[in-house]
Chains A and B, each alone.
Chain A
Protein backbone atom coordinates (compact mmCIF):
# COMPACT_ATOMS: atom_id res chain seq x y z
CA UNK A 1 0.00 0.00 0.00
CA UNK A 2 1.40 3.33 -1.08
CA UNK A 3 -0.48 6.34 0.20
CA UNK A 4 0.35 9.79 -1.14
CA UNK A 5 -1.62 13.00 -0.99
CA UNK A 6 -2.07 15.72 -3.59
CA UNK A 7 -2.05 19.42 -2.78
CA UNK A 8 -4.17 20.54 -5.75
CA UNK A 9 -7.05 22.71 -4.56
CA UNK A 10 -10.58 21.69 -5.66
CA UNK A 11 -11.45 25.40 -5.79
CA UNK A 12 -9.17 25.79 -8.84
CA UNK A 13 -10.45 22.71 -10.74
CA UNK A 14 -11.83 23.21 -14.26
CA UNK A 15 -13.83 19.99 -13.96
CA UNK A 16 -15.88 19.44 -10.84
CA UNK A 17 -18.81 17.08 -11.12
CA UNK A 18 -20.58 14.50 -9.01
CA UNK A 19 -21.48 11.16 -10.60
CA UNK A 20 -24.50 9.62 -8.93
CA UNK A 21 -24.55 5.98 -7.91
CA UNK A 22 -25.11 3.86 -11.00
CA UNK A 23 -24.47 6.72 -13.42
CA UNK A 24 -21.53 7.21 -15.78
CA UNK A 25 -19.13 9.75 -17.21
CA UNK A 26 -17.23 10.24 -20.45
CA UNK A 27 -14.70 13.03 -20.71
CA UNK A 28 -11.44 14.03 -22.34
CA UNK A 29 -8.38 14.84 -20.24
CA UNK A 30 -5.82 16.84 -22.22
CA UNK A 31 -2.18 15.74 -22.18
CA UNK A 32 -0.63 16.79 -18.87
CA UNK A 33 -4.02 17.25 -17.24
CA UNK A 34 -4.73 15.94 -13.76
CA UNK A 35 -7.89 13.99 -12.97
CA UNK A 36 -9.00 13.08 -9.46
CA UNK A 37 -11.72 10.68 -8.36
CA UNK A 38 -13.02 11.20 -4.83
CA UNK A 39 -14.79 8.35 -3.02
CA UNK A 40 -17.24 10.67 -1.24
CA UNK A 41 -18.90 8.11 1.01
CA UNK A 42 -16.35 5.26 1.09
CA UNK A 43 -16.01 1.78 -0.45
CA UNK A 44 -17.44 2.78 -3.83
CA UNK A 45 -16.02 0.94 -6.82
CA UNK A 46 -15.42 3.28 -9.78
CA UNK A 47 -15.11 1.16 -12.91
CA UNK A 48 -12.83 3.05 -15.26
CA UNK A 49 -11.62 2.63 -18.83
CA UNK A 50 -9.02 4.86 -20.49
CA UNK A 51 -8.55 5.35 -24.24
CA UNK A 52 -6.13 7.26 -26.42
CA UNK A 53 -8.34 10.21 -27.38
CA UNK A 54 -6.95 10.04 -30.92
CA UNK A 55 -7.77 6.35 -31.42
CA UNK A 56 -10.14 4.29 -29.26
CA UNK A 57 -8.55 1.04 -30.46
CA UNK A 58 -5.50 2.12 -28.44
CA UNK A 59 -7.17 1.34 -25.13
CA UNK A 60 -6.14 0.68 -21.56
CA UNK A 61 -4.94 -2.88 -21.06
CA UNK A 62 -5.21 -4.31 -17.55
CA UNK A 63 -3.02 -7.34 -18.19
CA UNK A 64 -0.28 -5.41 -20.04
CA UNK A 65 -0.26 -2.91 -17.17
CA UNK A 66 0.09 -5.48 -14.38
CA UNK A 67 2.67 -7.53 -16.29
CA UNK A 68 4.88 -4.56 -17.12
CA UNK A 69 4.80 -3.23 -13.53
CA UNK A 70 5.36 -6.75 -12.22
CA UNK A 71 2.59 -6.40 -9.66
CA UNK A 72 -1.16 -6.91 -9.50
CA UNK A 73 -2.43 -3.81 -7.71
CA UNK A 74 -2.54 -0.22 -8.90
CA UNK A 75 -1.31 2.66 -6.74
CA UNK A 76 0.86 5.79 -6.93
CA UNK A 77 3.44 5.34 -9.67
CA UNK A 78 1.44 2.77 -11.61
CA UNK A 79 1.72 3.43 -15.33
CA UNK A 80 -1.52 2.73 -17.14
CA UNK A 81 -0.52 1.16 -20.46
CA UNK A 82 -2.45 0.59 -23.64
CA UNK A 83 -2.69 -2.57 -25.73
CA UNK A 84 0.25 -1.14 -27.70
CA UNK A 85 2.21 -0.48 -24.48
CA UNK A 86 1.77 3.27 -24.92
CA UNK A 87 1.65 5.18 -21.64
CA UNK A 88 -1.85 6.61 -21.31
CA UNK A 89 -1.77 7.93 -17.74
CA UNK A 90 0.15 7.67 -14.48
CA UNK A 91 -1.34 7.43 -11.00
CA UNK A 92 0.21 10.40 -9.22
CA UNK A 93 -1.63 10.41 -5.90
CA UNK A 94 -3.54 7.86 -3.93
CA UNK A 95 -4.93 8.25 -0.42
CA UNK A 96 -6.60 4.82 -0.60
CA UNK A 97 -3.45 2.76 -1.24
CA UNK A 98 -4.46 0.13 -3.71
CA UNK A 99 -6.90 -0.48 -6.52
CA UNK A 100 -8.02 -3.50 -8.53
CA UNK A 101 -7.69 -4.12 -12.26
CA UNK A 102 -8.34 -7.88 -12.39
CA UNK A 103 -12.01 -8.04 -11.45
CA UNK A 104 -13.52 -6.46 -14.56
CA UNK A 105 -16.93 -4.85 -14.64
CA UNK A 106 -20.27 -6.22 -13.57
CA UNK A 107 -22.74 -7.02 -16.32
CA UNK A 108 -26.31 -8.24 -16.31
CA UNK A 109 -25.08 -11.49 -17.81
CA UNK A 110 -22.22 -12.06 -15.36
CA UNK A 111 -24.53 -11.16 -12.49
CA UNK A 112 -26.77 -14.05 -13.54
CA UNK A 113 -23.74 -16.36 -13.51
CA UNK A 114 -22.56 -15.15 -10.12
CA UNK A 115 -25.79 -14.54 -8.25
CA UNK A 116 -28.63 -16.18 -10.15
CA UNK A 117 -31.43 -15.41 -12.58
CA UNK A 118 -33.15 -12.95 -10.21
CA UNK A 119 -30.35 -10.42 -10.89
CA UNK A 120 -30.88 -10.48 -14.70
CA UNK A 121 -32.38 -7.00 -14.87
CA UNK A 122 -30.42 -5.27 -12.16
CA UNK A 123 -28.43 -2.29 -13.40
CA UNK A 124 -24.77 -3.09 -14.16
CA UNK A 125 -21.55 -1.36 -15.22
CA UNK A 126 -21.49 -2.82 -18.70
CA UNK A 127 -24.80 -1.09 -19.46
CA UNK A 128 -23.31 2.23 -18.38
CA UNK A 129 -20.09 1.70 -20.36
CA UNK A 130 -22.06 0.94 -23.54
CA UNK A 131 -24.40 3.89 -23.07
CA UNK A 132 -21.72 6.49 -22.35
CA UNK A 133 -19.20 5.05 -24.81
CA UNK A 134 -21.52 4.92 -27.82
CA UNK A 135 -21.14 8.59 -28.89
CA UNK A 136 -17.38 8.14 -29.41
CA UNK A 137 -17.57 4.71 -31.04
CA UNK A 138 -16.87 2.60 -27.97
CA UNK A 139 -19.04 -0.50 -28.33
CA UNK A 140 -18.85 -4.01 -26.90
CA UNK A 141 -15.80 -4.82 -29.01
CA UNK A 142 -13.94 -1.77 -27.69
CA UNK A 143 -14.63 -2.52 -24.01
CA UNK A 144 -11.35 -3.73 -22.58
CA UNK A 145 -10.75 -4.95 -19.05
CA UNK A 146 -11.18 -2.01 -16.69
CA UNK A 147 -9.76 -0.56 -13.51
CA UNK A 148 -11.85 -0.75 -10.34
CA UNK A 149 -10.74 2.22 -8.31
CA UNK A 150 -11.30 1.82 -4.55
CA UNK A 151 -12.03 -1.89 -4.97
CA UNK A 152 -10.16 -4.63 -3.11
CA UNK A 153 -9.60 -7.95 -4.89
CA UNK A 154 -6.82 -9.80 -3.08
CA UNK A 155 -5.01 -12.65 -4.84
CA UNK A 156 -3.36 -15.39 -2.80
CA UNK A 157 -0.10 -17.29 -3.41
CA UNK A 158 -2.11 -20.33 -4.41
CA UNK A 159 -3.97 -18.39 -7.08
CA UNK A 160 -7.18 -17.66 -5.17
CA UNK A 161 -9.09 -14.46 -5.87
CA UNK A 162 -11.97 -12.90 -3.95
CA UNK A 163 -13.88 -9.62 -3.77
CA UNK A 164 -13.12 -8.45 -0.25
CA UNK A 165 -14.38 -5.58 1.84
CA UNK A 166 -13.09 -2.28 0.54
CA UNK A 167 -9.94 -0.61 1.76
CA UNK A 168 -11.34 2.84 0.97
CA UNK A 169 -13.17 5.31 3.23
CA UNK A 170 -15.12 8.56 2.86
CA UNK A 171 -13.01 11.27 1.20
CA UNK A 172 -10.26 8.98 -0.12
CA UNK A 173 -9.10 9.83 -3.60
CA UNK A 174 -6.96 8.67 -6.48
CA UNK A 175 -5.41 10.99 -9.03
CA UNK A 176 -4.13 10.47 -12.57
CA UNK A 177 -1.94 12.51 -14.87
CA UNK A 178 -2.80 12.11 -18.55
CA UNK A 179 0.38 11.33 -20.48
CA UNK A 180 -1.39 12.05 -23.75
CA UNK A 181 -4.90 13.24 -24.47
CA UNK A 182 -7.14 10.47 -23.15
CA UNK A 183 -10.80 9.63 -22.93
CA UNK A 184 -11.95 8.45 -19.53
CA UNK A 185 -15.08 6.29 -19.45
CA UNK A 186 -16.51 5.66 -15.99
CA UNK A 187 -19.30 3.58 -14.55
CA UNK A 188 -20.03 4.38 -10.93
CA UNK A 189 -20.74 0.79 -10.00
CA UNK A 190 -24.35 -0.15 -9.12
CA UNK A 191 -23.48 -3.65 -7.84
CA UNK A 192 -25.55 -4.61 -4.77
CA UNK A 193 -24.73 -8.33 -4.57
CA UNK A 194 -21.22 -8.17 -3.14
CA UNK A 195 -19.21 -5.89 -0.82
CA UNK A 196 -17.49 -3.91 -3.61
CA UNK A 197 -19.71 -0.91 -2.89
CA UNK A 198 -20.23 -1.64 0.79
CA UNK A 199 -23.66 -3.08 -0.23
CA UNK A 200 -24.81 0.51 -0.82
CA UNK A 201 -23.70 2.26 -4.05
CA UNK A 202 -23.00 5.97 -3.52
CA UNK A 203 -21.92 9.05 -5.49
CA UNK A 204 -18.35 10.00 -6.37
CA UNK A 205 -16.80 13.37 -7.28
CA UNK A 206 -14.61 13.97 -10.31
CA UNK A 207 -12.14 16.87 -10.39
CA UNK A 208 -9.84 18.04 -13.17
CA UNK A 209 -6.99 20.51 -13.51
CA UNK A 210 -5.79 21.01 -17.07
CA UNK A 211 -2.85 23.27 -16.24
CA UNK A 212 -0.94 23.69 -13.01
Chain B
Protein backbone atom coordinates (compact mmCIF):
# COMPACT_ATOMS: atom_id res chain seq x y z
CA UNK B 1 0.00 0.00 0.00
CA UNK B 2 1.34 3.40 -1.02
CA UNK B 3 -0.11 6.67 0.15
CA UNK B 4 -0.46 8.82 -2.98
CA UNK B 5 -2.05 11.81 -1.36
CA UNK B 6 -2.62 12.94 2.22
CA UNK B 7 -4.51 16.04 3.17
CA UNK B 8 -5.80 17.22 6.53
CA UNK B 9 -9.09 19.04 6.07
CA UNK B 10 -9.47 21.48 8.96
CA UNK B 11 -12.61 21.34 11.08
CA UNK B 12 -15.48 23.28 9.52
CA UNK B 13 -13.95 23.27 6.03
CA UNK B 14 -14.83 21.53 2.78
CA UNK B 15 -12.82 19.74 0.12
CA UNK B 16 -13.18 17.57 -2.96
CA UNK B 17 -10.95 14.98 -4.53
CA UNK B 18 -11.03 12.75 -7.61
CA UNK B 19 -10.20 9.13 -6.88
CA UNK B 20 -9.43 6.47 -9.46
CA UNK B 21 -11.26 3.15 -9.41
CA UNK B 22 -9.38 0.55 -7.36
CA UNK B 23 -7.80 3.02 -4.99
CA UNK B 24 -8.61 3.42 -1.35
CA UNK B 25 -9.80 6.52 0.45
CA UNK B 26 -8.94 6.48 4.12
CA UNK B 27 -10.66 9.00 6.38
CA UNK B 28 -9.25 9.52 9.87
CA UNK B 29 -10.85 11.56 12.64
CA UNK B 30 -8.32 14.00 14.05
CA UNK B 31 -10.40 14.94 17.09
CA UNK B 32 -13.18 13.87 19.45
CA UNK B 33 -16.64 14.11 17.90
CA UNK B 34 -15.49 14.57 14.32
CA UNK B 35 -17.99 14.57 11.45
CA UNK B 36 -17.43 14.27 7.72
CA UNK B 37 -20.55 14.90 5.59
CA UNK B 38 -19.68 13.15 2.35
CA UNK B 39 -21.20 13.05 -1.14
CA UNK B 40 -20.04 10.65 -3.86
CA UNK B 41 -20.41 11.03 -7.62
CA UNK B 42 -19.48 8.82 -10.55
CA UNK B 43 -16.77 11.02 -12.05
CA UNK B 44 -17.54 10.17 -15.67
CA UNK B 45 -21.32 10.45 -15.64
CA UNK B 46 -23.23 13.74 -15.69
CA UNK B 47 -25.70 12.89 -12.92
CA UNK B 48 -24.94 9.53 -11.32
CA UNK B 49 -24.35 9.84 -7.59
CA UNK B 50 -24.66 8.15 -4.20
CA UNK B 51 -28.23 7.04 -3.54
CA UNK B 52 -28.65 6.54 0.20
CA UNK B 53 -32.16 4.99 0.13
CA UNK B 54 -31.14 2.45 -2.52
CA UNK B 55 -27.96 1.66 -0.57
CA UNK B 56 -29.94 1.11 2.64
CA UNK B 57 -32.78 -0.95 1.25
CA UNK B 58 -30.56 -3.20 -0.87
CA UNK B 59 -28.45 -4.12 2.15
CA UNK B 60 -31.15 -3.91 4.83
CA UNK B 61 -29.34 -1.34 6.92
CA UNK B 62 -29.98 2.17 8.21
CA UNK B 63 -26.32 2.81 9.02
CA UNK B 64 -23.07 2.67 7.08
CA UNK B 65 -20.59 0.04 8.16
CA UNK B 66 -18.08 -2.37 6.68
CA UNK B 67 -18.24 -4.35 4.43
CA UNK B 68 -21.31 -2.89 2.69
CA UNK B 69 -21.11 -1.09 -0.63
CA UNK B 70 -22.36 2.42 -1.35
CA UNK B 71 -24.57 2.44 -4.45
CA UNK B 72 -25.54 5.01 -7.03
CA UNK B 73 -28.83 6.10 -8.61
CA UNK B 74 -27.97 3.70 -11.46
CA UNK B 75 -27.44 0.72 -9.18
CA UNK B 76 -23.66 0.79 -9.42
CA UNK B 77 -21.25 0.18 -6.56
CA UNK B 78 -19.45 3.51 -6.13
CA UNK B 79 -17.26 2.23 -3.32
CA UNK B 80 -16.96 -0.60 -0.84
CA UNK B 81 -16.62 0.19 2.85
CA UNK B 82 -13.64 -2.09 3.34
CA UNK B 83 -13.05 -1.39 7.01
CA UNK B 84 -13.72 0.94 9.91
CA UNK B 85 -12.94 1.28 13.58
CA UNK B 86 -16.62 2.26 14.01
CA UNK B 87 -19.67 0.08 13.47
CA UNK B 88 -22.01 2.97 12.74
CA UNK B 89 -21.73 5.99 10.47
CA UNK B 90 -24.89 8.13 10.22
CA UNK B 91 -26.70 8.15 6.90
CA UNK B 92 -30.17 9.32 7.97
CA UNK B 93 -29.76 12.96 8.91
CA UNK B 94 -28.31 14.89 5.98
CA UNK B 95 -25.77 17.67 6.28
CA UNK B 96 -25.97 20.95 8.18
CA UNK B 97 -27.47 24.06 6.60
CA UNK B 98 -27.07 27.72 7.51
CA UNK B 99 -29.88 27.57 10.12
CA UNK B 100 -27.87 25.07 12.18
CA UNK B 101 -24.81 27.27 12.16
CA UNK B 102 -26.83 30.37 13.03
CA UNK B 103 -27.57 28.79 16.44
CA UNK B 104 -24.04 29.73 17.45
CA UNK B 105 -24.47 33.42 16.66
CA UNK B 106 -23.36 35.64 13.82
CA UNK B 107 -20.15 34.77 12.03
CA UNK B 108 -18.41 36.11 8.97
CA UNK B 109 -14.96 36.23 7.48
CA UNK B 110 -14.55 39.88 8.53
CA UNK B 111 -15.51 39.02 12.09
CA UNK B 112 -13.85 35.64 12.60
CA UNK B 113 -11.31 35.27 9.80
CA UNK B 114 -10.77 31.76 8.52
CA UNK B 115 -12.42 30.35 11.65
CA UNK B 116 -15.80 31.70 10.48
CA UNK B 117 -18.62 29.26 10.84
CA UNK B 118 -19.98 27.87 7.60
CA UNK B 119 -22.53 25.12 7.16
CA UNK B 120 -21.81 21.85 5.42
CA UNK B 121 -24.26 22.94 2.72
CA UNK B 122 -22.22 26.09 2.04
CA UNK B 123 -18.99 24.12 1.87
CA UNK B 124 -20.36 21.25 -0.22
CA UNK B 125 -21.90 23.74 -2.65
CA UNK B 126 -18.65 25.66 -2.97
CA UNK B 127 -16.85 22.44 -3.89
CA UNK B 128 -19.61 21.19 -6.20
CA UNK B 129 -19.50 24.43 -8.16
CA UNK B 130 -15.79 23.90 -8.84
CA UNK B 131 -16.83 20.76 -10.71
CA UNK B 132 -19.65 22.38 -12.67
CA UNK B 133 -22.27 21.06 -10.29
CA UNK B 134 -24.72 22.87 -8.07
CA UNK B 135 -27.60 22.69 -5.56
CA UNK B 136 -29.48 20.03 -7.53
CA UNK B 137 -26.53 17.70 -6.89
CA UNK B 138 -26.98 17.85 -3.10
CA UNK B 139 -28.35 14.39 -2.35
CA UNK B 140 -28.44 12.27 0.78
CA UNK B 141 -24.96 12.14 2.33
CA UNK B 142 -23.03 9.91 4.69
CA UNK B 143 -21.97 11.55 7.95
CA UNK B 144 -18.83 9.56 8.59
CA UNK B 145 -17.86 9.37 12.30
CA UNK B 146 -21.33 10.44 13.52
CA UNK B 147 -24.11 8.34 15.02
CA UNK B 148 -27.78 9.14 15.46
CA UNK B 149 -29.47 6.35 17.38
CA UNK B 150 -32.81 5.00 16.16
CA UNK B 151 -35.53 3.98 18.62
CA UNK B 152 -38.12 1.29 17.98
CA UNK B 153 -40.96 3.47 19.27
CA UNK B 154 -43.98 4.37 17.12
CA UNK B 155 -42.36 7.57 15.82
CA UNK B 156 -38.90 6.12 15.18
CA UNK B 157 -37.31 8.72 17.47
CA UNK B 158 -33.80 9.88 16.61
CA UNK B 159 -31.16 10.73 19.23
CA UNK B 160 -27.76 12.24 18.44
CA UNK B 161 -24.88 10.40 20.10
CA UNK B 162 -22.26 12.95 21.16
CA UNK B 163 -18.57 12.14 20.64
CA UNK B 164 -19.28 8.87 18.81
CA UNK B 165 -15.85 9.10 17.19
CA UNK B 166 -12.59 9.63 19.03
CA UNK B 167 -9.22 10.72 17.67
CA UNK B 168 -7.81 8.18 15.19
CA UNK B 169 -11.11 6.51 14.40
CA UNK B 170 -11.03 5.61 10.71
CA UNK B 171 -12.94 4.28 7.75
CA UNK B 172 -11.62 2.98 4.42
CA UNK B 173 -13.47 3.10 1.12
CA UNK B 174 -12.35 1.23 -1.99
CA UNK B 175 -13.40 3.18 -5.09
CA UNK B 176 -15.22 0.82 -7.47
CA UNK B 177 -15.58 3.49 -10.15
CA UNK B 178 -13.68 6.71 -10.74
CA UNK B 179 -15.18 8.96 -8.09
CA UNK B 180 -15.61 12.58 -7.22
CA UNK B 181 -15.64 12.74 -3.42
CA UNK B 182 -17.02 15.97 -1.95
CA UNK B 183 -16.88 16.41 1.81
CA UNK B 184 -17.40 18.88 4.63
CA UNK B 185 -16.02 18.71 8.16
CA UNK B 186 -18.70 21.01 9.59
CA UNK B 187 -20.24 19.48 12.73
CA UNK B 188 -23.18 17.12 12.40
CA UNK B 189 -26.45 19.10 12.10
CA UNK B 190 -27.73 17.59 15.36
CA UNK B 191 -24.53 18.29 17.31
CA UNK B 192 -25.49 20.90 19.93
CA UNK B 193 -21.95 22.29 19.99
CA UNK B 194 -19.81 24.07 17.43
CA UNK B 195 -16.61 22.08 17.85
CA UNK B 196 -15.49 21.22 14.31
CA UNK B 197 -12.71 18.65 14.05
CA UNK B 198 -10.22 18.05 11.29
CA UNK B 199 -10.33 14.91 9.19
CA UNK B 200 -7.34 13.37 7.36
CA UNK B 201 -8.06 12.24 3.82
CA UNK B 202 -5.60 9.80 2.27
CA UNK B 203 -5.73 8.19 -1.14
CA UNK B 204 -3.78 4.95 -1.33
CA UNK B 205 -3.03 2.14 -3.71
CA UNK B 206 -4.44 -1.19 -2.53
CA UNK B 207 -4.45 -4.77 -3.75
CA UNK B 208 -7.21 -6.03 -6.03
CA UNK B 209 -10.07 -7.56 -4.05
CA UNK B 210 -9.55 -11.26 -3.40
CA UNK B 211 -12.09 -13.92 -4.31
CA UNK B 212 -13.36 -13.93 -0.73
CA UNK B 213 -13.43 -10.14 -0.43
CA UNK B 214 -15.88 -9.28 2.39
CA UNK B 215 -17.74 -6.67 0.30
CA UNK B 216 -18.16 -9.03 -2.66
CA UNK B 217 -19.47 -11.75 -0.37
CA UNK B 218 -21.51 -9.53 1.99
CA UNK B 219 -24.89 -9.96 0.31
CA UNK B 220 -26.09 -10.96 -3.18
CA UNK B 221 -27.23 -7.34 -3.65
CA UNK B 222 -23.75 -6.03 -2.83
CA UNK B 223 -22.18 -8.45 -5.31
CA UNK B 224 -24.61 -7.48 -8.08
CA UNK B 225 -23.87 -3.75 -7.60
CA UNK B 226 -20.14 -4.52 -7.75
CA UNK B 227 -20.59 -6.58 -10.93
CA UNK B 228 -22.60 -3.76 -12.54
CA UNK B 229 -19.79 -1.32 -11.71
CA UNK B 230 -17.25 -3.69 -13.31
CA UNK B 231 -19.35 -3.74 -16.49
CA UNK B 232 -19.11 0.05 -16.63
CA UNK B 233 -15.32 -0.15 -16.41
CA UNK B 234 -15.12 -2.92 -19.02
Q: Which residues of A are interface residues toward B (Cβ below 8 A)?
A: 1-2, 57, 61-64, 66-67, 70-73, 75, 83-85, 98, 102-105, 107, 109-110, 112-114, 116, 139-145, 153-157, 159-163
* Contact pattern, B 78-105, Cβ under 8 Å of A = 1, otherwise 0: 0000000000100011100101000000
* Contact pattern, B 45-76, Cβ under 8 Å of A = 1, otherwise 0: 00100011110111011110100000101111
**A98's closest neighbor in chain B, by CB?**
B154
Cross-chain pairs A/B with CB under 8 angstroms, 28 sampled:
A62-B53, A67-B92, A67-B148, A67-B158, A67-B190, A71-B156, A71-B158, A72-B150, A73-B154, A73-B156, A83-B138, A102-B53, A102-B56, A104-B51, A104-B54, A107-B75, A110-B54, A110-B75, A112-B224, A113-B54, A113-B58, A114-B221, A116-B224, A142-B136, A145-B139, A157-B151, A157-B152, A163-B57
- Number of A-B residue pairs having CB atoms within 8 Å of each other in the complex: 135
Bound-complex Cα distance A111 to B63 (A): 21
Does B54 contact A72, Cβ atoms closer than 8 Å?
no
Contacts of B93 in A (CB 8 A): 63, 66-67
Q: Is B5's CB within 8 Å of the partner chain A?
A: no
Q: Which residues of B are interface residues toward A (Cβ below 8 A)?
A: 47, 51-54, 56-58, 60-63, 65, 71, 73-76, 88, 92-94, 97, 99, 135-141, 148-152, 154-158, 189-190, 221, 224-225, 228
Does B221 contact A103, Cβ atoms closer than 8 Å?
no
Interface of B is mostly: loop
Bound-complex Cα distance A109 to B154 (A): 32
Does A102 contact B74, Cβ atoms closer than 8 Å?
no
Interface centre among A67, A75, A155 (most CB of B within 10 A): A67
Contacts of A157 in B (CB 8 A): 149-152
Does A140 contact B99, Cβ atoms closer than 8 Å?
no
Bound-complex Cα distance A113 to B55 (A): 10
Contacts of A70 in B (CB 8 A): 157-158
Given A84-B97, A141-B47, A160-B62, also A62-B136 (CB < 8 A)? no
